[in-house]
Amino acid sequence: MISAGGELEIGDFCLFAPRVFVSDADHVVDNISRPYSEQGFTRGKVVVEENCWLGINTVITGSITVGRGCVVAANAVVTRDVPPFSVVAGVPAVILKMFNPATNAWEHVRTPEDSERIAAARTVHRLPSREEYRFILHRTSKVGHLSPLLVGSGQCL
């Protein structure tokens, strides 16, 4: 289910499991004396970058970005930005693992120090940009072409 009041961008090679809900909009509920349905709504922008895997029953809500190469665990509720190449889970979702380019491995994030150490490694050993990552994925993919009927045509509706 996709409910976009503003903008929605989904990168190449993303996988959405059943019952994924993505929304950038929410109801305004400031005045308890007026019906909520008459108070308007917020709208934002949701970006799910390239090669993300959103598990079953995932909820992506708010004006957020899920960075390239991320995995969102089943039943997670993502309410804030997720850095590229991270694994998140929970309600609200928290980072469990991050890819460390210095060790070329996924590493557990159990403490703030773990996150800081990996972030520091990411400044020395740069992760690919979205454009570079998209090129890598297309170059290494065994699928030569996906029908626009299945994956969209790159147009904003």
Q: Which residues does residue 47 pair with via DSSP β-bridges, in sequence order?
A: 9, 65
Task: Check 27, 108, 125, 138 and give the catalytic one.
Answer: 27
Nearest CA-CA partner of 81 in 60, 66, 99:
66
HSE-up (13 A, CA, CB side) for residue 66: 38
CB of 18 closer than 8 Å to CB of 99: no
Catalytic site residue 27?
Answer: yes
Phi, psi of 36, rounded to the nearest 5 degrees: -60, -35
d(CA 59, CA 74): 9
Provide DSSP, 68-98.
TT-EE-TT-EE-S-B-SSEEEETTTTEEEEE
CB of 78 closer than 8 Å to CB of 92: yes
Residues marked active site are found at 27
